[in-house]
């Protein structure tokens, strides 16, 4: 019975995964979401069942005596001794230059922090002057206050009376019968 339920769950998982792909391919989003939820529920259920099954197996092997287990103190004494993590921190090597690299790296971090602080202070104090200077520079290239192109009424009313040669060029030659 257990094998049949596992087989049914796996077949349903594969079928729902296939239908998710089919529905997404057909742009049937609501169906894809519903079948996707079923797929995820089956996946979580199967994963939980596998974990529980494995835990049951481990518990069964734990209950069976596997011979005499040595005492914890004997096992600790038999364990290999760890070496110190950094060679330059051994007491006999402290007078050598092995410690130079970590000190250099620590100094680099400290200098970087100080440089960051100086940059922040300089940026905060110079911001007002920089903005005023930028505004003065942009005044030269800003758009004029009046429109560049005359309105349609101005163009029809007096195309020849404008004194600006650029506007005359923009308006073109006057119509045949219009004022000159």
What's the token pair of residue 137?
């520079």
**DSSP state letter for 143:** P
In 3D space, the residue among 153, 147, 150 whose CA is nearest the CA of residue 167 turns out to be 150
Domain boundaries, the chain: 2-62, 98-138
Looking at residue 30, its pLDDT comes to 84
For the segment 62-109, what is each residue's pLDDT rounded down to a tens digit?
766 555 656 777 877 787 877 766 666 666 665 666 666 667 778 888
What is the band of 116 on the pLDDT scale with cuts at 50, 70, 90? Answer: very high
Asked if the model's pLDDT at residue 53 lies above 80, the reply is yes
Mean residue pLDDT of the chain comes to 77
Asked if the model's pLDDT at residue 54 lies above 80, the reply is yes
Looking at residue 135, its pLDDT comes to 84
H or E stretch including 2?
Answer: helix 2-25
Asked if the model's pLDDT at residue 164 lies above 60, the reply is yes
More reliable by pLDDT, 150 or 114: 114
- Contact call for residues 10 and 43 (beta carbons, < 8 A): no
Of 18-27, 48-57, 130-139, the range with the lowest mean pLDDT is 130-139
When pLDDT is averaged across residues 28-53 and rounded to a whole number, the result is: 88
> What number of CA atoms fall less than 13 Å from residue 175's CA on the CB side?
7
Asked if the model's pLDDT at residue 180 lies above 60, the reply is no
Asked if the model's pLDDT at residue 177 lies above 60, the reply is no
More reliable by pLDDT, 11 or 178: 11
What's the token pair of residue 93?
């090597």
Measured CA distances, 97 to 1, 61, 93, 107, 177 (Å): 70, 54, 8, 16, 98
What is the band of 51 on the pLDDT scale with cuts at 50, 70, 90? Answer: very high
């Amino acid at each position: 019975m257990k094998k049949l339920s596992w087989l049914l769950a796996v077949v349903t998982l594969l079928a729902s995964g296939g239908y998710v792909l089919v529905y997404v391919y057909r742009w049937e989003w609501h169906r894809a979401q519903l079948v996707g939820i079923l797929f995820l529920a089956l996946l979580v259920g199967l994963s939980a069942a596998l974990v529980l099954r494995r835990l049951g197996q481990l518990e069964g092997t734990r209950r069976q005596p596997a011979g005499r287990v040595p005492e914890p103190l004997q096992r600790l004494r038999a364990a290999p001794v760890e070496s110190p993590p950094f060679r330059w921190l051994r007491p006999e090597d402290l007078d050598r230059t092995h410690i130079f690299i970590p000190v250099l790296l620590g100094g680099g971090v400290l200098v970087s922090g100080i440089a960051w602080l100086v940059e922040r202070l300089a940026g905060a104090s110079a911001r007002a002057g920089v903005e005023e200077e930028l505004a003065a520079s942009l005044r030269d290239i800003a758009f004029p206050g009046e429109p560049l192109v005359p309105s349609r009424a101005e163009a029809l009313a007096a195309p020849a009376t404008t004194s600006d040669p650029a506007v005359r060029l923009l308006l073109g030659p006057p119509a045949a019968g219009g004022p000159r």
